[in-house]
Amino acid sequence: MKAKLGRIGAIGTGLDIFRAASLFLYVSLLFQIAVVVLIGGHPPGRPVWIALCVLAPLTVSALMRYLRPKLLLMSPRHILLELLATCGALGLLSLQSEVPLQDLPWWIALAGVFPLVLEARLSMVSVLVLASVGSLASATNPVQPELWLPGFFVTVFVGLLSVWLSNALATNVAHLEQALLNERRFNVIARAARHVFLITSKRFEVQFANPVIADVLGYTPREMEQGRMPEIHPEDLAERNRKLRLLRRGRINSARMMLRVRHKDGHWVWMEVRGYNMLQDPAINGMVFSMEDVSARIEAEHKLQQEHELLRAVLDLNPAMIYAKDRDGRFTISNASFQKGVGNLSDAQLKGRTVKDVFEAQKRKGRDLGPLEMAQRFHNQDMQVIRTGVPIENLEVRDAADGAAERWYRTFKYPLRDATGATSGMLGITRDVTESKEYEMRLEHLALHDPLTGLPNRRYLLKLIADHIAAGEPDEKLTVLYCDLDSFKNVNDIHGHDVGDRCLLEITRRVAELFPPPDVVSRFGSDEFAILVYAPLEEARRRADDLLQRIEQPIVVEDIEVRIHASIGIAGLLPEQRSPSELIRDADAAMYQAKDRGRNRIEVFDAALQRSATRRAQMDVALRFALERHELALVYQPQVSLADGTLTGFELLMRWNSPQYGQISPDDFIPIAENSGMVVPIGMWALEQACMQLKAWHQAYPRETPLHLGVNVSMRQLMHASFLQEVAQILQRTGVDPACIELELTETSAMANPTQTIENLAMLKSLGLRLALDDFGTGYSSLAYLQRLPIDVLKIDRAFVRGLGRDRNDVEIVQLILTLARMLGLDTVAEGIESRQQMLALRNLGCRLGQGFYFSTALSAADAEALLRENSRYRVLLAEMA
């Protein structure tokens, strides 16, 4: 293409011809003048010299113009002036008769040269003028036209040829410039394009390649133009050759191919090739190929395909039913779980259909997916999400189709948005939550029911009472019976928990028979039942008598006859009661009153009991401030060696001096502290005070066998999470010898949870403390557990000490306790010694230590210290002990 343009450019322009022709004209004219003058021997006249003066600079100018065309630029004005000057010189030569000169040819030459560079109209005028002047000037007789007309027409003809040649050259130059411009544009496009362009011959020999090929395939355009088309992957050759044959034969005008082309360095490059048959275009006369590197696209498509397959696998492996819809509510995608749920339809079968279409189609096939109303409801929900753009989450749907097991589904519906943020569809996720729903319902049932008996529990009953109160039902028609099985723990201890559980089940059956719905029987604890009776108080009292009699009837379990009794408290809902817990509290208070009055009986909550309960509640509030108001005081009851009366230590006791209630016995306020939890901070305060006091006595009154101090510990304290840590900190802060501190736990408390008690006592024992089992003989200790308890002391309860000397049974019980203590290697302390007779009986039976009013009442810290100070031998002055 460049060679062709070069050949066109070699023809030149009218200006180029004018430069050469004008120089030749002037040189030829000067040469003729020189020949005529020098050879012809004609002397020049003045006109000749003037003409020579005009022609000489014109000749020099023409020579310079020819040699340096870019330096001497000619304007139309300059050319016209040059024409006039030349015409003038010829005119002077024509007027010079001494020098014979054939001037017509020169006028013809002027007409043939100057129109090459003049404007078209001016060229025609100049031709006519030159023809007229030249023909007339050269004619011998201007009057005779036949003499000058031939010269005129010849001049005009030559001039017109010059004009036509000038126009042709101008047109050629314009075309040439346009071709050069097009070539430059093509080269720019070819360089800037990201595609490879090839022009080949009919035999597919590369004639042109743009520079992009070096970036794409590593070959330079020159390397491509010297050879054939790049190497094609063997697997793509057949398809490539077939389409190229069709393209070359003209059966198709264009061809599109996806080929792998070998790069110069050896690797394969995916190319999208488009070929065009340009054999009919004379400028091309070959094939044109556009090649785009699509390796990245192919890789992206491959990766996208892998991701699509992965997404499809994830969708299909997901047990949830997943689907998507367009804005018209038609399915666009679905996973295997969803397809299975709608009758094993494929994804293609679902696409473009609504859920109603699917239900109807399956119904026609005899597969009932459910009522069409359900399908319409699902469709409406989906369209609501699409219409509003608001998701629907945690929507639970119960499917109880006829003849099928009940299923539960949880659905999530989310709007899908396009790039502009507009809702383009929705995504639905439905999970079969039947198992979790059933588990949830079981958990809810367990949360509201007793696992052993299946009866409602406290939460369930309190909710029923709260609903009754909120509904404004008549108060006199709601009564609660609070039933506690007396000493039921003995059944478990003696016969085992399996027998105990079967007894509870039998009692549950009996109670449920007596109180059918709408009454509600609930189990509050291991041996406690609360019965909600929708009846007045009098009728409830009568039915409670029947219940007491039914419970008393023997229960036979595996040939074991068990007799159980119960204490029942009854309370009716009062108008002023707005809380279910108040009604339960009143029934519970009545039940405890029944126990206090001998058990196996019924008590009704009345005004006196209400006053007592109110007082207990008020004392509970006051007790919470008693510690910070310094209303609690500590006293010390001496413990004495029964052998010689030596004072061996003290037991720490507590008193509450309330400004509101006066002095309150520990038997009254300790249970309140236990129930409220205040026993924990109060107990820790008492322990720290006792340790500090004992440390002070050890320093002030040293002795070979240091004094010891017993401190009572409740089960609630023992089970408290930080109890062990706080005890250790108190021992560290006070510096007291742990071996001199004796923590006392009642037998009943210890046996409430013997396994945990053993673990906690063992940890206390590891701190070096002494441990005592208080009120021994009143509980129901298992010998196996008793042997495992890490205790040091057994304290004999005052109930057995009281009858010593007159009740043979008490003597035998005390003797058995002392024998047991000796067998277990435990020390013994008798509580409640009030007479010499009791003291002597205990000493004779082998009891080592004792305490009681016979020796001393509980003393304040000052009185106890006075006792230590006044008796230098640390002995209680007892004349009777001699």
Please identify, among 234, 269, 293, the residue that sits at the C-terminal boundary of a domain: 293
* 134 part of a folded domain: yes
Number of domains in the chain: 5
Q: Are 462 and 425 in the same domain?
A: no
Per-residue pLDDT at 476: 64
Q: Are 741 and 822 in the same domain?
A: yes
**Tokens of residue 505, six digits:** 């089940």
Q: Are 461 and 599 in the same domain?
A: yes
* 613 part of a folded domain: no
Per-residue pLDDT at 873: 44
The rounded distance, in Å, linking the Cα atoms of 871 and 302 is 104
**Tokens of residue 169, six digits:** 């050259």
Are 689 and 635 a contacting pair, CB within 8 Å? no
Bridge partners (DSSP) listed for residue 428: 323, 413
* 245 part of a folded domain: yes
Per-residue pLDDT at 505: 93
Q: Are 571 and 720 in the same domain?
A: no
Q: Are 412 and 558 in the same domain?
A: no
Q: Are 351 and 401 in the same domain?
A: yes
* 476 part of a folded domain: yes
Q: For the domain that residue 219 is a member of, what is the CATH number? A: 3.30.450.20
* 186 part of a folded domain: no
Q: For the domain that residue 464 is a member of, what is the CATH number? A: 3.30.70.270
Are 664 and 622 a contacting pair, CB within 8 Å? no
Q: Is 196 exposed, middle or buried (0-12, 13-18, 19+ CB in 10 A)?
A: buried
Q: Are 331 and 464 in the same domain?
A: no
Q: Are 316 and 396 in the same domain?
A: yes
The rounded distance, in Å, linking the Cα atoms of 20 and 513 is 139
The rounded distance, in Å, linking the Cα atoms of 221 and 208 is 7
Q: Are 456 and 487 in the same domain?
A: yes
Q: Is the dihedral of CA 397, 398, 403, 405 positive or negative?
A: positive
* 50 part of a folded domain: yes
CA distances for 435 relative to 431, 438, 439, angstroms = 11, 5, 6
Give ∠ CA 424-426-430 in degrees, rounded to 5. 170
Please identify, among 277, 293, 309, the residue that sits at the C-terminal boundary of a domain: 293
* 215 part of a folded domain: yes
Token pair 């040439």 is found at 176
pLDDT tens digit sequence for 128-181: 777 777 676 666 556 566 666 777 777 777 777 877 877 777 777 777 777 677
Q: Are 325 and 274 in the same domain?
A: no
Q: Are 287 and 306 in the same domain?
A: no
Phi-psi region of 531 (alpha: psi -120 to 50; beta: other; left: phi over 0): beta
Parent domain of 564: 449-605
The residue among 769, 690, 696, 697 whose CA lies nearest residue 737 is 769
The residue among 197, 192, 193 whose CA lies nearest residue 208 is 197
Please identify, among 253, 278, 293, the residue that sits at the C-terminal boundary of a domain: 293
Question: What is the model's pTM?
Answer: 0.45
CA distances for 468 relative to 371, 479, 483, 531, angstroms = 39, 11, 21, 15
Per-residue pLDDT at 375: 76
* 166 part of a folded domain: yes
Residue spans of the chain under pLDDT 70: 1-13, 39-42, 70-74, 95-103, 134, 136-148, 179, 182-183, 186-193, 227-228, 366-372, 400-405, 473-476, 578, 748, 750-753, 777-785, 871-882
- Sequence length of the chain is 882
Q: Are 112 and 135 in the same domain?
A: yes
